[in-house]
Structure 1
Amino acid sequence: MSKEQLTNDIWRACDILRRDNNCGGIMEYIEHLAWLLFLKFLDEQEDTFALEAELRNEKYHYMIEGEYRWSNWVTKGLGKKKKQSDKRNTPEWDADTLMGFVKEKLIPYLASLSGSPEREVIAGIFGGRTVILCDSVYNLKDVLEIVDRIDFSNSDDIYTVSHTYENLLQRLGSENKMAGEFYTPRPVIRFMVEVIDPKIGETVYDPACGTCGFLVAAYEYMKQWEQTIRDRDILQRHTFFGQEKKPLPALLGTMNMVLHGVLVPDIQRKNTLEEDTRTAIKKYDIILTNPPFGGKENKQIQKNFPVSANATELLFLEHIIKKLKTDDNARCGMVVPEGTLFRSGAFGTVKEWLLNDFNLVMVVSLPPGTFAPYSDVKAALLFFERGKQGDEVLYQEVVLPEELKKFSKGNPIDDIHFRQVREIWQQMKAYQQGKGKKPEITEFSWFEKTEDLIKRGFDLAAKNPTTTEREKLPEPSVLLDRIIKNNEKLHQNLLSLKQKLDEGVKWDG
């Protein structure tokens, strides 16, 4: 099957599911398609594992056994030949038998699996939630036909399916604002992974992993150095860790990892902020994340952190600081709202802590609309590592194309927009390694002295020295503070005027 035909078939499966009474929304039909793809992929992988075990004169124990294997129940559900060598088709189940098997036997069986990390990953996908299932058995059969034709032993098919799945997640993020909170634009992710430069043997953690965009990109980046079976085992079982509070993104993220080739990702469905950072034991070499911001946490959650605050973005920053290993090479790349950079109080305390225990290497200011259409909050990227804070911090701005005032759904941020900041970073990296000159200041990149950042109260905001002659609008939070103060002043003036009128001569018409 050609890549184009396979891509078209997957989109046709989405159209079929979208017409179903149980799958009308984009979140529902992507979820349904995802778990079918997962089962088909796993079935073929298990056949491969069984063959490899046979060559080693070993017996392979299937994760999914007997009638619950895709090749067994789908063959009966569609009345197909189990193998090309079969002379006759298997008798086809009627509609009630197929739907009854999936709903009453298959899904409960998958949700109850245990006994190995692989089985627990499967149980995590199907347990503790209501799995989306077609209302129409005929829609289910049509989609099963499409998915069953995919050859996951073919590298081209695997690439096409994983690429199309990513496109589906992108559509989910752009068409559903609720889903946007767990989808980060892939150009942003790819740039961050390049800067952090993860290596085989290092652990990678995302405390708010969503659909696992950072972990998938890190795997794609790291596997270029895979040379041995041991390297493969490290990447498969001992490298990627994520936590996600909400069930749907945890499901989609796990499947995203599996479809990209990581069969045993350690994705936990839990509220990361419930962990007491003062007793945190598990630590990681690398953290890559875009944690939720703008939310509030209750006082019980706040007790888990040395610096009490209700803002989720600040609590995640504290969590990350505590979860990085104490090795000098431990490092982090994270997305923060720009307000985190300039806010004082508890924010200032944590930023002081950051500069004391880490080396803030680079701050990258992102243009308006980077996270369009689901968020207009202006954001920045922080890159820091364990070790003594350097004398300077590299600041950069991602430049908007001249014809745009902001990025949008129709004009999204792309890899090319990171070209300039990527080139400056490569120069900076070479300079740090003693292989080149220090990057020169440009219109959109400059250095801030650490002592100046401290003097201004740990205000880490990007203050481009070349834009002093241009009018720069205040941050939204600053404008809001001004509006609130002006309203309070107006309210006081109105009360004063009313008091004077009440004390004066009454108007008698």
Structure 2
Amino acid sequence: MEVNKKDLSERDIVSKFISPSIINAGWSLDTQIREEVSFTDSRIFVKGKTVVRGQKKRADIILYYKPNMPIAVVEAKDNKHYVSDGVETNYPASFRTTESADLFLLLMMRYLKDGGRAAIVLPDGSLTGDGVKERIRKEFLTQCNVHTIVRLPNSVFQPYASVATNLLFFTKGEKTKDVWYYEHKVPEGMKAYSKTKPIQKSEFEPLKKWWNKRKKSDVAWKVSIKELEENGYNLDIKNPTVPEEETVYTTAELMQKLHESFKASEDLLNDLRKGLSYGK
């Protein structure tokens, strides 16, 4: 008898579909997967002389690299809700958003301890924008010392995505004073990265040499927190040594680009359909 997912509870979705998929991907049920587990102390509420602790945060599944080293939280939904439903309500009203990259940044700020260091990949879209995006960046620069942003070429994640991305390095518990930018360029002789010609670890050697002896150059520049504040905490700062070029396309070229974009979207949707077909 075929199971109708819409009749299943959230717990059923975890036990029948999510957990088996995680185990099939190579995770150990005995040492790397825990279900229905509390993962952080609850907030303390003080009212007059009364002190009350709220409910602890619980996760449907927590994945562990090894015992006592959690690396991922899996939140399940029953089939009547979208994956993103309810996620934003875990945050203060001024920071609520459905943008997964922005929520991930908020999560990093929440759980990274003072003195903790991190490096994350974020798309250009998280570095700019007003409203809630600007408020999140302001909080980020206040809570953390965002000392370095490495700007990556658009083709780094080809063919899966062509969005421009960045490596952000920061330390929790220190305010940002200056942000150093470093532009990682495609190697000479290459037009772009691809599935058969991906980015190589050796390409980061110039960055490693520059790291401890920082100087401004044609690929490195520094921006003060004052400049960022005056510009709405916009972190999408282009290389000032490279003049912006205006590209003019013919109608035929624009139609071809549109066709390629639709094809890429269709390929991605097909991949997602294949992934969602598991368990049906």
TM-score surpassing 0.5? yes
Q: Paired residues, what number?
A: 196
Code of the residue aligned with 1:242 in structure 2: it is I
Question: C-alpha distance in 2, partners of 1:272/1:445?
Answer: 43
> Residue 503 of structure 1 corresponds to which residue in structure 2?
none
**Larger gyration radius, structure 1 or structure 2:** 1
* Deviation readout 1:377-420 (Å, 9 max, x if unpaired): 21111111123324311111111112222211121000122122
| Closer/same/farther in 2, CA of residues 301 and 418 from structure 1, 3 Å limit | same
Structure 1 segment 138-287 matched on structure 2, within 5 A: 237-238=67-68, 240-244=69-73, 270-271=74-75
User: Which amino acid in 1 is paired with 2:163?
Assistant: V
DSSP-derived class of the 2:210 partner: helix
Q: Does the CA contact (< 8 Å) of 2:109 and 2:140 recur in 1?
A: yes
CA distance in 1, matches of 2:232, 2:104: 21
1:121 equivalenced with 2:47 (yes/no): no
Offset at 1:465? 0.9
1:378, 1:345 → 2: CA distance? 21
Residue of structure 2 equivalent to 1:131 = none
Higher percent of residues as strand: 2
- Looking at secondary structure, tell me which structure has more helix per residue: 1
Residues 1:462 and 2:237 aligned together: yes
TM-score of the superposition, structure 1-length normalised? Answer: 0.35
1:308 counterpart = 2:96: yes
- 1:50 match: none
Asked if 1 retains the 8 angstrom alpha-carbon contact of 2:145 and 2:177, the reply is no
Q: Find the aligned partners of 1:456 and 1:400 in 2 and give their Cα distance.
A: 29
Is 1:365 paired with 2:151? yes
Q: Within 2, Cα distance between the matches of 1:119 and 1:297?
A: 26
User: Partners in 1 of 2:188 and 2:182 — Cα distance?
Assistant: 18
Q: For 1:26-68, what per-residue CA distance to the aligned partner results, in whole angstroms no more than 9, with x for missing partners?
A: xxxxx87x76xx9xxxxxxxxxxxxxxxxxxxxxxxxxxxxxx
Moved segments of 4+, more than 6 Å: none
Which residue identity lines up with residue 454 of structure 1 in the other structure?
E
Partner of 1:149: none
SS in 2 for 1:342: coil
Query: In 1, Cα distance between the equivalents of 2:29 and 2:237?
Result: 47
Distance 1:370 1:272, change over 3 A: farther
Distance 2:139 2:130 in 1: 13
Q: What letter matches 1:271 in structure 2? A: E
1:445-472 per-residue CA deviation (whole Å, 9 max, x = no partner) reads: 111111101110010013111012x416
- TM-score, normalised via structure 2 length: 0.61
Whole-Å Cα distance in 2 between the matches of residues 314 and 344 of structure 1? 13
RMSD over aligned Cα atoms: 3.4
- Pairwise CA distance, 1:272: 9.1
- 1:180 paired residue number: none
Does the CA contact (< 8 Å) of 1:393 and 1:447 recur in 2? yes
For 2:236 and 2:111, locate their aligned partners in 1 and report how far apart those are by CA, in whole Å: 24
Partner of 2:228: 453
Query: Any conservation in 2 of the 1:296–1:312 contact (CA below 8 Å)?
Result: no
Aligned in 2, Cα 1:411/1:331: closer, same or farther, shift over 3 Å?
same
Conservation of the 8 A alpha-carbon contact between 2:141 and 2:176 = no
Q: Please, which of 69, 74, 84 is the counterpart of residue 297 of structure 1?
A: 84
Whether contact under 8 Å (1:335, 1:382) holds in the other structure is yes
Structure 1 distance, partners of 2:101, 2:30, is 31
- How far has the Cα of 1:271 moved from its partner? 2.0
Q: 1:355 to 1:272 in 2, by over 3 A?
A: farther
CA distance in 1, matches of 2:171, 2:132: 21
Change over 3 Å in CA distance of 1:400–1:119 after alignment to 2: closer
* Rounded Cα–Cα distance in structure 2 between residues aligned with 1:472 and 1:393: 27
Alpha carbons 1:314, 1:347 under 8 Å: kept: yes
| Partner secondary structure for residue 359 of structure 1 | strand
User: Alpha-carbon deviation of 1:359?
Assistant: 0.9
Identify the residue that residue 471 of structure 1 maps to in structure 2.
Answer: 245
Identity of aligned residues (%): 26
Cα distance in 1 for residues equivalent to 2:123 and 2:88: 20
Distance 1:296 1:367, change over 3 A: farther
CA deviations 1:270-328 (Å, max 9, x no partner) are 2299xxxxxxxxxxxxxxxxxxxxx9823x22111121111111111111111111x3x
* 3-state SS of 1:458 partner: coil
Question: 1:465 is paired with a residue of what secondary structure?
Answer: coil
Does structure 1 residue 440 correspond to structure 2 residue 215? yes
Distance in 1 (alpha carbons) for counterparts of 2:83 and 2:239: 31
* Cα 1:272/1:312, change in 2 over 3 Å: farther
Aligned twin of 1:421: 207
Higher relative contact order structure (alpha carbons within 8 Å, sequence separation ≥ 6): 2
Q: Which amino acid aligns with 1:318?
A: L
* Letter of the structure 2 residue corresponding to residue 120 of structure 1: D
1:296·1:311 contact (CA, 8 Å) conserved in 2?
no
Tell me the distance in 2 between the aligned counterparts of 1:424 and 1:296: 42
Give the structure 2 partner of residue 101 of structure 1. none
For the residue of structure 2 that corresponds to 1:303, the secondary structure is helix
Verify the 8 A CA contact 2:144 2:176 in the aligned structure 1.
Answer: no
Gaps of at least 5 residues in structure 1 are 1-30, 39-117, 128-206, 216-235, 245-269, 274-294, 428-438, 474-509
Cα gap change, 1:356/1:472 in structure 2, threshold over 3 Å: closer, same or farther? farther
